[in-house]
Amino acid sequence: MASTRSLLAPRVPPSPPPPPSVTSAHVFGSADRVCVALLVLVNLASKCGDALAPQLLDTSPLLLVALNANDLHLALTAGAGVPWHWWCAVGVARRLVEDPLFFYLGWRYGTKAFDWIEAGA
C-alpha cells in the first residue's frame, strides 16, 4: 500500500525535451550552400562597391551600380553619362538579385533559425 506522503505530494509534469540542435552539417543541403555562397558574394560585391565608389564614380559608374545599387550610388550615377536604359536595367537587377535568396533561406529555415537563436547559438 502507498504511503500517505506519496499520495499527498504534488505531481510535477515532466519537463519537455530540449529542441534539437541546428548545425550546418545537419541541416544545409547543396542548394542551401549555393544560396549562402551567392549571398556572401553579393554582400562582398556591395562592400567592394562602397570602398571603390569614389574611383568608380569617375571611371565606370555602371560598374559601381552593378556592385552596389543603393540609393546614394544610384543618385550619384544618374547623370554620369550612362544610357538610361542600361542604368535602369542594371540598377533594378542589382537591387532584386538578393531578395529571392533571402526569401528562400527564410522560407526554408525560418522557425528553425529562431529556435537556434533562442537556444543560445
Residue 67 domain-assigned (yes or no): yes
Report the pLDDT value the prediction gives residue 119, as an integer from 0 to 100.
78
Residue 42 domain-assigned (yes or no): yes
Q: How far apart are CA 17 and CA 105, in angstroms?
A: 26
Report the pLDDT value the prediction gives residue 4, as an integer from 0 to 100.
58
Report the pLDDT value the prediction gives residue 24, as an integer from 0 to 100.
47
Residue 81 domain-assigned (yes or no): yes
Residue 19 domain-assigned (yes or no): no
How many domains, the chain? 1
Residue segments in the chain with a per-residue pLDDT below the cut of 70: 1-10, 12, 16-28, 121
Cβ proximity of 64 and 53 under 8 Å: yes
Residue 6 domain-assigned (yes or no): no
Residue 75 domain-assigned (yes or no): yes
Domain that holds residue 53: 30-109
Residue 14 domain-assigned (yes or no): no
Q: What does the angle CA 83 – CA 85 – CA 86 come to, to the nearest 5 degrees? A: 70
C-alpha separations of 60 from 13, 76, 79, 93 in Å: 67, 12, 13, 17
